[in-house]
Amino acid sequence: MDTSYPRDDAWPPKRRAPPDAPPPRDHLVWAIFNTLYMNFCCLGFVALAFAVKARDRKVSGDVEAARHFSSKARCYNALATAGSVVLPLVLVALVVTGVIHLSKLAQESVGFFTYQLRGADDEDQ
């Protein structure tokens, strides 16, 4: 292994926010909730990964990266929550409309079959 080139062991300086700015939120609790209870297409797990990254960056002092990862965690959390709330509502709506349609179809077929039976009874006499 060639190590003849000069190395910089110093890390790049971290960007710090002004002291009056509040620290970014990491949305970790929301991501855990989405991961455990409402994991729609694994979006809750992705949100959890970004929330953990946001918390790590916030603890290390890189506020700009923490804001970036926090924004992504919030977006994925919102998508997971919306998908987990909207999808069951759509399924319930489909079931209800299907039941209504089938009940109307059953009422029409009952009327059709009673007409056929009465017509057949009249012809026998």
* Residue type, position 15, single letter: R
The pLDDT score that the predictor gives to residue 21 is 78
What's the gap between Cα 67 and its chain centre? 21
Per-residue pLDDT of 37-81, as tens digits, reads 877 788 999 999 999 999 999 999 999 999 999 999 999 999 999
- pLDDT value of position 121: 55
pLDDT at position 99: 94
pLDDT at 41: 83
Mean residue pLDDT across the chain: 83
pLDDT of residue 93 exceeding 70, the answer is yes
Kindly compute the dihedral angle of the four CA atoms of residues 38, 42, 47, 53, in this order, to the nearest 10 degrees.
140
Distance CA 28, CA 45 (A): 11
What residue segments make up the domains of the chain, in order of their start? Answer: 88-124
CA pair distance 77, 31, nearest whole angstrom:
6
| All residues at 6 or more sequence positions from 22 whose CB lies less than 8 Å from its CB, including other chains | none
Q: Where are the alpha helices (DSSP H) in 5-62?
A: 28-36, 43-60
- pLDDT, residue 68, reads 95
- Global pTM reads 0.63
